[in-house]
Amino acid sequence: MAAISSRQFKTDAKRVARDLRHRGLIQTALRKYETSRDLQKSAFQDWQGARQSAAERKWEAINHLDTHLEAFVAKLEARGAKVHWASTAEQARQIILGILHDKAARSIIKSKAMTAEEIHLNDAMEKAGYSVVESDLGEYIVQLRNEAPYHIVFPAMHLTRGEISALFAEKLGSAPTENPEDLTMIARTVLRDKYITADVGITGANFAVAQTGMISITENEGNARLTAALPKTLITLMGIEKIIPKLSDLALFLPMLATAGAGQALTGYNSMYAGPRQPGECDGPEEYHVVLLDNSRTQLLADPEQRDALHCIRCGACLNVCPIYRNVGGHTYGTTYSGPIGSVITPHLRGLQEWKHLSQASSLCGACTEACPVKIDLHHHLLQNRRNAMTAKPVWWEKLAFHAFGYLAQRPELLRKLIPFGRFGQKLHWLVIGGPLDPARAWTETRDLPTLPRFTFADLWRAKMRAEQMEKTP
C-alpha cells in the first residue's frame, strides 16, 4: 500500500468527521465498550499496579529481545517446528508463498493477524492463485467487502447489522436478517466447510513465551483454534516484539488484553501452540512453521526514546479513547495500524517523511497514554515524531514562523509595540474570514479564531499596580 499524502489524509478526515451517521455508529459502539471496560478494570485489585507490572515485563522482554528470541526458537525447534526469520515484508511473503508451493496447497484458512495485514499477505496469496478465507467473523466481513480492517480489535466496527445482512445476501445468497445470532450462523455455515477443506492454516500470535517456546492466541470465536487444529500445515506469522519472558506472565497479560481490548474479563478461547502434532496426540498440524517478522522493528528497537512502542500488545485501547480516531475513523489513516499507536509506529515502519502527517493527527490530550495498559508514552512519541521529521527535513515557512515567534517572545517590549498592528490585521482578516482569500482558512473553517484583546495581561497588571500605588499614596 502506497503512503497516502497529507492532503489525502486531511480530505478524508474532513469528509468522515462530517458524516454524522458514521460518528454516531462509532460513538455508540465505543460507549458500550467503555462501560464494560471500566467494569472489568475494577475487577483488578490494582489496575495501575498491573499496568506498571506489565510495562516492566515488556521492558524486560524488549530490552533483552535477542536472548529471549533465541530461547524461544530453540524450544520451538526442539519440538519439530520450523522457524523462519524475515527481515522485510517481501521476505515474509516469499517464505509463506514458498511453503504453500512446497505443500502444493490450494486453499488457505486464516485467523486474524495484523502482521498479515502489515505485509499484505492476502493480496500476495491471491495474486499467486491461492484461495484465502478469513475465519474471524469481523475479518470475514471486511474481506467480503474487499476492505482493510477498520480497527485492530473490531475489524467491522463501522458496519451496521443491516449492512452486514445486505452484504451476506449479496455475496452468500442468504435471507435478510438483522439478528446477530442468525448473521453469525450464516458465516459459520460457510466457514466450517473451509476449515475442513483447507490445506494450510495461517494464524497470528498474541504472545510468544520465551521460557517455554509457546505461542499464545487469544480470541472469542474459536476460529483460530480450528484454523490451527484442522489443516495439515500450520503457519504462524508474528512480529518479533510479541515475546514475553515467562509463561506466568500470561496470567497478567491475558486478562489485561481482554480488559483493555474488549472490556472482557478473559476472552472465550485461550490456546497455546508449541509445535507440530507430537506422537500420541490426536489433533494438530503435521507441520508447523513460525515466521518471525522484523520489518523495521529492530530499527525501532535501536531508538532509545521510542523503543517502548514495541511493548504494544495491540489491544486497541488507545484508538478507542482517541478523539481523533473516534471522529475520523480507522480507514482514514490509510495504514495497517491506525489511531495513536499507528501514528507512532508507522513512520518508523514505513518512512518518517511519508507518514509524518499522522503525528499531527493528535490533540496531544494524553488520553491514549493514560489508556495504554503497558504504559507506552504515546502522546510524547507523537511530539518526538514531529520534532524528528522537522529536524530531518525542515519546512522553511514553519522554521521561519517559529524563529520569528521565538525572537518576539524574548523581546516583550517589541511584541507590545506590534500588538496594535496585529489588531489592525485581524480587522482586515474579518473581511475575508472563511472565504477563499482567507489565509487562515484551514483553521477558521472549523475553529474560532480568538480576537486579540484590547488590553494585554501586562497592560492590566500595570494598571492594577498603578491603582494600588495611588490608593496607598496619601
Contacting positions for ligand SF4 (CB under 6 A): 260, 312-318, 341, 371-374, 376, 378
| 3-class SS string, 228-253 | HHCCCEEEEEEEHHHEECCHHHHHHH
CB of 317 to ligand SF4, least distance (A): 4
Q: Which is nearer to ligand SF4, 155 or 316 (CB)?
A: 316
Q: Tell me the helices (H) and strands (E) count for the chain, helix number first.
A: 23, 10
Contact between residue 210 and residue 120 where contact means Cβ atoms under 8 Å apart? no
- For cell 524450544, the residue is 75
CB of 201 to ligand SF4, least distance (A): 25
Query: Helix, strand or coil for residue 141?
Result: helix
Q: What is the DSSP letter of 132?
A: E
Kindly tell me the burial class for residue 446, based on how many C-beta atoms sit within 10 Å of its own C-beta (0-12, 13-18, 19 or more).
exposed
Q: How far apart are CA 426 and CA 424, in angstroms?
A: 5
Q: Which is nearer to ligand SF4, 81 or 378 (CB)?
A: 378
Nearby residues of 347 by Cβ (< 8 Å), 6 or more positions away: 354, 355, 356, 358, 359, 385, 389
CB of 199 to ligand SF4, least distance (A): 33
Helices (H), 176-249: 180-197, 223-229
Contact between residue 61 and residue 210 where contact means Cβ atoms under 8 Å apart? yes
CB of 315 to ligand SF4, least distance (A): 4
Nearby residues of 409 by Cβ (< 8 Å), 6 or more positions away: 415
Q: Which is nearer to ligand SF4, 380 or 429 (CB)?
A: 380
Written as one letter, the residue type at 112 is K
CB of 313 to ligand SF4, least distance (A): 5
Q: Which is nearer to ligand SF4, 266 or 390 (CB)?
A: 266
Q: Which is nearer to ligand SF4, 113 or 376 (CB)?
A: 376
CB of 91 to ligand SF4, least distance (A): 25
| 3-class SS string, 319-351 | HHHCHHHHHHCCHHHCCCCCHHHHHHHHHHHHC
Q: Which is nearer to ligand SF4, 4 or 321 (CB)?
A: 321
Q: Which is nearer to ligand SF4, 58 or 93 (CB)?
A: 58
CB of 310 to ligand SF4, least distance (A): 10
Q: Which is nearer to ligand SF4, 51 or 93 (CB)?
A: 51
Q: What is the DSSP letter of 277?
A: P
Q: Which is nearer to ligand SF4, 226 or 368 (CB)?
A: 368
Q: Which is nearer to ligand SF4, 30 or 313 (CB)?
A: 313
- For cell 477563499, the residue is 436
Task: Report the run of H or E that residue 109 belongs to, with start and end.
Answer: strand 107-110
CB of 415 to ligand SF4, least distance (A): 40
Task: Give CA separation, 128 vs 42, 107, 193, 252, in Å.
Answer: 49, 12, 23, 41
CB of 258 to ligand SF4, least distance (A): 12
Kindly tell me the burial class for residue 141, based on how many C-beta atoms sit within 10 Å of its own C-beta (0-12, 13-18, 19 or more).
buried
Q: Which is nearer to ligand SF4, 305 or 398 (CB)?
A: 305
CB of 371 to ligand SF4, least distance (A): 6
CB of 450 to ligand SF4, least distance (A): 33
Contact between residue 320 and residue 33 where contact means Cβ atoms under 8 Å apart? yes
Contact between residue 63 and residue 302 where contact means Cβ atoms under 8 Å apart? no
Q: How far apart are CA 390 and CA 387, in angstroms?
A: 5
- Grid coordinates of 327: 471522529
